[in-house]
Each structure stands twice: as structure tokens, then as C-alpha cells.
Amino acid sequence: MRLIGVLTLASARMFFRQREAILWTLILPLFLIVLFGFIRFDGTTTLEIGLVGPRSPVADSLRAALARVDAVTLHAGSRESETELLRQGERDLVVVLPGGLRQGDSVLVLADLEAKPSQTQLGRLILRTILDETVLSDLESVTRPRLVVEAVVTRNLSYIDFLVPGVISMSIMQMGIFGVAFGFVSMKKRGILRRLSITPLRTMDFIIAQVITRVTVLMLQMGLMLAVGVLFLDLHFVGDILSLTVLAILGAIVFLSIGFALAGSSRSEDQVAPVANLISVPMILLSGVFISRAHLPGPVYAITEIFPLTFLADGMRAIAIDGASVLEVWPQTLGLLVWSAIAIVLASRLFRWE
Amino acid sequence: MEAVTDAPVISPSPRLEPPPASMPETIVKVEGLTKRYDSLTAVDDISFHVSRGEIFGILGPNGAGKTTTLECIETLLAFDAGDVRVQGIDVRTDPLEVKRRIGVQLQSSAFFDRLSLNELLTVFGEIYGRRVDPASILDEVDLRAKLQSKVSELSGGQRQRFSIAAALVHDPPVLFLDEPTTGLDPQSRRHLWGVVRRIKTEGKTIVLTTHYMEEAEELCDRVAIMDHGCIVALAPPHELIARLLADGFRKERIERHANLEDVFLALTGHALRED
């Protein structure tokens, strides 16, 4: 036990004296959260409308009314330039106003009906309403049913709530696969492991120390991301820390074991890199870290169901945002347990000192 | 336990001293060691004993099997035939016990980055279950001033000496040094000879390999010369020289009382340049 303590302390020292490691493990995930949090690329995007045509009092009031709609970003320009932007995908709709805009005149709407059916539909509804209100405003006497909007407070989950648990899960995977595999292969290549193999050091003691160090760093990383999320990015964290920690450690065991298996079966960093990327990149893209899996086509969705990162990210999200416990997310917990059994068997078969 | 006469008191030059007449304690015993790699026989049925307190040299051209022999004794390599024991312990059946009794400097030893020599020696001591005093271990190899330095900040000679210090943390009775002076300048090489001699006076047995005949002559009590995996000669250096001369060998050139290395050292001094 004492030896494991000494080895853990030593490997922690080595880790924290390495500036690039701190950058990659602590700063980069935060950077990703802030960056993607601002892009909000799942979020409610606004409708890009190009408005062209000669100026007139009616056209101006129409323009002003459209500009007040939050869901619309209005652009002005010539018909040719706006149409070109529509073709390039920079506009959702181009609205061409006729000169006078009297009753019986028609307003031309240009849109790609196949590529953007819902945007076109939404744009038409907004335009219809505004045209009615603008042009028929002098016919106010007509009694129309009124719309009354009442405020209701909701949990108001944002993209940040989706993103933070996902990035935490991704960081656990990266630390396991890349941290362990590259670290060990480098120690192997440079002869550090060989030097250790002529001492009575037991492999297990060395590995346990490495695992403790990395799990500690992961906990720090997770705490930092949650703290920044709650303090600065309006993260709705309602999770139970214990459940979150248990699931994170379970995930760490899966990915650290994959890392050890990779380290064991490779001789150099050049051999590790492609395999590590082959494993991690599809999971980053398809396991619902940055983008919800809901949009994936059926067969792909089915495959991603059993990815270890899917289990981890879904579980972490349910615990952190929905307040579930580690037992309530039992399908994810069970999935990770099965994966950890597979990964540990692989690691013990493949891991070699030399 | 044993009665070894203090050789330097009788003669200032221990290498001229014949091995003790009394039955010396065998520390390393190699009998019929054979190691094959596919078709190549790297070590071919060699045998030798190393006695307590001696410096035993293994010489030979590249590929002769020196390092392979060492690595078989050090438990790093599995071998095909033979009986190899360190203090009577079979390296095949009890490698862990052998590892506890040997200190090893590998030909290219790497240590963890970003740890000071102090921290490294502490960790290595703990691996052997010992709480060591890194400063006094570094004293033995004249590196005390580098206690807080990192390995990456050391010169070549300092690295070799640190590698020896790391092999000494558990006070092993026998030390294996694989080409300890390869790549060092003459000053560093001579300095390392001094370190090795000092370790010997502490009663340790040392087995080393080298390419430098001058080094073997200077340090070793006995040498085994290997070629193509076999030992072609095994005796104290002066005896091997005497045998060659008795066979009628004479150097073609006029005997000179100095060589270029003497000139180099006379011009640049014996002082180490790195510290």
C-alpha cells in the first residue's frame, strides 16, 4: 500500500509538471464547452430573410414589423445579390415586394422548398401574419379572435445542459485512450518500463498507481467543468455528486482498460495513433457528445446504442441534468459494466511491459 | 562470514593481485548458458563463475553475446539451456529473489521525466521496500550537487553515474554494468573508473561489459573474452598478456611510453568538465 502511495504521488508529480498535459486535460474541454456553447448549433437558429424591392411607406412598415420578430434576421440588398446568397445557402427566404403593395398585389417569396421545407413554412406564416396586420391595419374594426400569451416558468434546458455532460464523458474517454496508450508506449519505447522490469516492482502496483492518478485528474476535470458551467454558462446542474462520480469512475475503468490494451499491443506512438483515432473519433461524432443522436438514421442509431461513450454520455446527462441516480440509469450503468469486463479482459491479455 | 584479505594494503595495484588462494564465495554462477534467436545462437554453451568482491569483465566485439549474457543473468531474457544462479538462487525459478539481489545498469537506461534525482531515488528505494537517503547514494557517485536536478539536465557521464546510483538503492551484493563508459570523454571515463573501484572496495561484486581494452585492464580482476557467442579466453588480464607474449607475440612498432590519450589528458587535465 505504501508503495502504491509513493508511486501515485510520483506519477501525479510527473503529470502536473507537464504543462501541455494540463492544457489538454483541463483547459481544452473548457474551451470546447465555451466555444460550442456560443455556437449553439443545435439551438433555435433564426430565419435568414432577404428583403428586396422599392421603398414605400407600406414596405417600410412591413420591414419594421419583420425586424421586430426575434425568429427573423433581416437582410436588405438587390434582388440579384440576395438570390445569389439564397443559392449559396446564406438565406432561407428572399422576399420580393412589388412597388405599391395594394390589395390584389402579390409578394414573391423565393425559397428552396425541398431543402428547407420547415423554414419556408415558418417564413410564410410569419409573412402572412405581418402582411395582414400591416396592410389590413386600417380595417381594424373587423373583430378577430385574440391571442393571449401567458408566462409559464419551465426548466428551460439549453444546449449547455446537453453539452457539458457530453464533454465530461468525452474527456474521460480521451484521458483513458490517449493518456494511457501514449504515455505507456512512450515509456516502453524509451526503455523506462524495461528499467522497471529489472526491479521487483509488481506490474499491478504500477498500474494501480497510474489508474489512481488519472482518476484523480478526471475528478478535477469534471469538477472544473461543472463549476464553470454553473457559474458562468447557466448550466442547470441538479445532479447527485455521488452517482455522477460512480458513473464517471466506471467510464474511466472502461476507457483506461482500452488504453492499456492499446499500449500493450503497440510498439510506438505511430502505431497507437491510428487505432486510438479509429476508436475515439466515431464515438465523439456519433455518441451524442456535441449533437443529439436523435437525428441519426435508424441503423446508425442502433449501432451507436452500444458504444461505451453513448452509455457514459447518456448516463452522465441523466444524472447531472435530470437528477437521476446511478441506479435509475441502470441500462447505462449495466452497459458500462459489460464494457468494463470486456476491456479489462482485453487489457490483461494484451498488456506487456516490453 | 568470509575472510577476504584487504588486497590494496598488500599491493597498491589490486589488478596485479592473483585471486585469493582460499575457496572464494561464488556470487554468480553460469553453467552451459545457451540462448538462441531463431537460427542465430547468440550465446553458445558458456560457463563462468564470478567470486565475491571481484570485478569481472566480459569483452568482445559487437554481437559477440555480451549483453545477451548479462540480460540472461539479470532475468530480462529467457534462455534455452543452462543453469544460472546468483548467490545460489536460480534465475529461472525465482527471478523475483534474484532481482532483489542485483543492481543493474542497462546499456541505455531511461528514467521518468520531470522527477528530480532525489525523487527518483526515493521511488526506486520504495520499490525495494527501503527508505533511502538519496543524498548519500548520490555521494557514492559524486552527484550530490545534482540532488534536485532532472535526468534530462545531466551530461552523459553524469547520467551513467546516476544510472549506477539507481542500481545501488537497495545495496545489492552484485552490480551489473553494461558498457558503462561508452560514449564518454576521457575525463568522464576515468572518473567513472574511480567510482567503480570505490564501489568494489565496499565489498560489492561487479560484472561489466566494455569495448575498451584499456578499461578492462585497468578495472577487471578477470576478463572473459567472447566471440560468436563463445568464451574464447578467461583469465586475469595480465595473465592473458603474459600468455600472448610467451607465444612469441611482439608489437611491430617501437614501444612508446605515452600515447595520444596521455597527450590529451596532459593538455586538458583530468578534471571533469561537466560539473
Cell numbers representing residue B257 in the block: 611510453
CB neighbourhood size of A236 (10 A): 18
Query: Does residue A276 sit in helix, strand or coil?
Result: helix
Q: β-pairing, B230-235 with A72-76?
A: unpaired
Cβ–Cβ gap A195/B111 under 8 Å: yes
Same domain, A62 and A174: no
Q: Do A162 and A266 belong to one domain?
A: yes
If one compares B41 and A67, the residue with the highest pLDDT of the two is: B41
Task: Look at B106 and A6 and tell me if their CB atoms are within 8 Å.
Answer: no
Question: In the block, which residue shows the cell 468494463?
Answer: A340
Tally the C-alpha atoms within 13 A of residue A345's C-alpha that lie toward its C-beta. 5
Cell numbers standing for residue B247: 607465444
Shared-domain flag, residues A111 and A180 = no
Domain termination residue (choose one: A111, A129, A151): A151
Residue B96 maps to which CATH number? 3.40.50.300
Q: Is the pLDDT of residue B274 over 80?
A: no
Amino acid (one-letter) located at A190: R
Does ipTM come in above 0.85?
no
Identity of the residue in B110, B124, B126 whose CB atom sits nearest the CB atom of A192: B110
Which of the residues B77, B112, B150 would you substitute to probe the A interface, choosing the one with the greatest number of A C-beta atoms within 10 Å?
B112
Task: Check residue B98 and give left, alpha or beta (phi > 0: left; psi -120 to 50: alpha).
Answer: alpha
Chain A residue whose CA is closest to B172: A199
Q: Which is nearest to A247 in space by CA: A167, A337, A347?
A: A337
Question: What does the pLDDT read at residue A269?
Answer: 82
**A5 Cβ contact partners less than 8 Å away, ≥ 6 residues apart:** none
Give the pLDDT score at A29: 84
Q: What is the mean pLDDT of residues B5-20?
A: 45
Q: In the prediction, which pLDDT does A229 show?
A: 87
**Number of other residues whose CB lies within 10 A of the CB of residue B201:** 12
Q: How far apart are CA B220 and CA A95, in angstroms?
A: 97
B135 inside domain: yes
User: Greater confidence, A139 or B82?
Assistant: B82
Of A165, A169, A164, A184, give the one whose Cα is nearest residue A257.
Answer: A184
Q: How many structural domains are present in chain B?
A: 1
By residue range, what is the domain housing residue A228?
A: 2-39+158-350
From residue B85, give the alpha-carbon distance in Å to each of B29, B50, B131: 5, 11, 28
Q: Which of A120, A151, A182 is the last residue of a domain?
A: A151
Q: What percent of chain B is modeled with pLDDT above 90? A: 62
Residue window 174-203, chain A: list those with CB within 8 Å of chain B: 187, 190-192, 194-201
CA atoms within 13 A of residue B41's CA, in its CB half-sphere: 12
Taking the C-alpha atoms of residue B246 and residue B256, their distance in angstroms, rounded to an integer, is 21
User: Residue A18 in 3-state DSSP?
Assistant: coil
From A2's Cα to the closest Cα of chain B, the distance in A is 8
Distance CA A219, CA A217 (A): 5
Do A3 and B126 count as a contact with CB atoms less than 8 A apart? Answer: yes
Asked whether residue B257 is assigned to any structural domain, the reply reads no
DSSP letter for each residue of chain B: ------HHHH-S-GGGSPPPSS-PPEEEEEEEEEEEETTEEEEEEEEEEEETT-EEEEE-STTSSHHHHHHHHTTSS--SEEEEEETTEETTT-HHHHHHHEEEE-TT----TT-BHHHHHHHHHHHTT----HHHHHHHTT-GGGTT-BGGGS-HHHHHHHHHHHHTTT--SEEEEESTTTT--HHHHHHHHHHHHHHHHTT-EEEEEES-HHHHHHH-SEEEEEETTEEEEEE-HHHHHHHHHHTT---SSPP-S--HHHHHHHHH-SS-S--
Helix (H) or strand (E) holding A80: helix A79-87
Question: What is d(CA B168, CA B12) in angstroms, rounded to the nearest whole number?
Answer: 26
Neighbours of A268 (CB within 10 A): 11
- DSSP, collapsed to helix, strand or coil, labels residue A47 as strand
pTM over 0.90: no
Q: Do A198 and B108 touch (CB under 8 A)?
A: no
Q: What is residue B42's predicted lDDT score, i.e. its pLDDT? A: 92
Q: Is the pLDDT of residue B4 over 70?
A: no
Residue showing cell 435530470: A322
The C-alpha angle A49, A50, A56, rounded to 5 degrees, equals 115
Least CB–CB distance from B113: residue in A6, A14, A194? A14
The answer for B 103-122 residues in CB contact with A (under 8 A) is: 104, 106, 108-115, 119, 122
Average pLDDT, integer, range B83-112: 92
β-partners of residue B207 are: B56, B176
Res B2: pLDDT: 44
Count of pairs with CB atoms under 8 A, one residue in A, one in B: 59
Which range (A320-324, B119-123, B234-238) has the least confidence? Answer: A320-324
Residue A306 CA to residue A304 CA, distance in Å, equals 5
Check pLDDT > 60 for residue B21.
Answer: no
**Which residues of chain A fall below pLDDT 70?**
39-45, 100-103, 135-145, 152-156, 354
Spatial CA neighbour of A169 closest among A352, A315, A42: A315
Residue B2 lies in a domain: no
Convert the pLDDT of each residue in A119-153 to its tens digit: 888 888 888 888 877 766 665 555 666 777 777 66
Average pLDDT estimate for B151-175:
92
A287 CA: distance to closest CA in chain B (Å) = 36
* Residue B126 touches chain A, beta carbons under 8 Å: yes
Residue B181: give the domain boundaries.
27-247
Q: A206 and A146, same structural domain?
A: no
Q: Are residues A14 and A98 in the same domain?
A: no
Residue A307 is placed in which grid cell? Answer: 458504444
CB atoms B74 and A6 under 8 Å: no
Helix axes of A308-322 and A269-286: crossing angle, nearest 10 degrees? 50
Distance (Å) from the C-alpha of residue A14 to the closest C-alpha of chain B?
A: 5
Q: What residues of B are in contact with residue A187 (Cβ under 8 Å)?
A: 110, 112
* Distance (Å, whole) CA B55 – CA A204: 36
Q: What is the pLDDT of residue B258?
A: 81
A2, A195, A200 member nearest B106 (Cβ) = A195
- Residue A156 pLDDT: 63
Residue numbers in A near B104 (CB within 8 A): 198
Pull the grid cell for residue B208: 561489466
Indicate the residue among A151, A186, A212 that finishes a domain.
A151
Give the pLDDT score at B128.
94
- Which residues does residue B102 pair with via DSSP β-bridges, in sequence order? B174
CB contacts of A199 in chain B (<8 Å) are 99, 124, 127-128
What would the mean pLDDT of B197-206 be, rounded to a whole number?
A: 93
Give the contacts of A184 (CB within 8 A, at least 6 positions apart).
A193, A259, A260, A263, A264
Q: Which residue of A has its CA nearest to B130?
A: A3
* Residue B130 located in a structural domain: yes
For the segment B202-218, the average pLDDT, to the nearest whole number, is: 92
Q: Give contacts of B75 with chain A, Cβ < 8 Å.
A: 198
Cell numbers that stand for A270 in this block: 505511430
**Minimum mean pLDDT range among A167-171, B7-11, B97-101, B166-170:** B7-11
- Report which of A187, A351, A185, A194 is spatially closest to residue A268, judged by C-alpha positions: A185
Report the alpha-carbon distance of residue A354 to residue A195 in Å, rounded. 10
Question: Does residue B105 sit within a domain?
Answer: yes
pLDDT of B13 = 45
- Regarding whether A91 and A26 lie in a shared domain, the answer is no
pLDDT at B14: 45
The structural domain count of chain A equals 2
* Higher local confidence (pLDDT), B274 or B177: B177
- Rounded to 5 degrees, φ, ψ at A109 are -115, 125
Looking at the fold, whether A261 and A344 belong to one and the same domain comes out as yes
Q: Classify residue B260: in a domain, yes or no.
A: no
Are A330 and A275 found together in one domain? Answer: yes
A33 touches A237 (CB < 8 A): no
Query: β-strand B205-210 against B174-178: which pairing, if any?
Result: parallel
| Whether residue A178 sits in one domain with residue A109 | no
**Segment B71-80, tens digit of pLDDT:** 999 999 999 9
Closest Cα in chain B, distance from residue A4 (Å) = 9
Check A191 against B110: CB less than 8 A apart. yes
The rounded distance, in Å, linking the Cα atoms of B91 and A315 is 50
Same domain flag for A56 and A30: no
Computed over every residue of chain B, the mean pLDDT equals 87
What is the per-residue pLDDT for B10?
A: 40
Q: Is A13 on the interface with B (CB under 8 A)?
A: yes
Does any CB of chain B come closer than 8 Å to the CB of residue A352? Answer: no
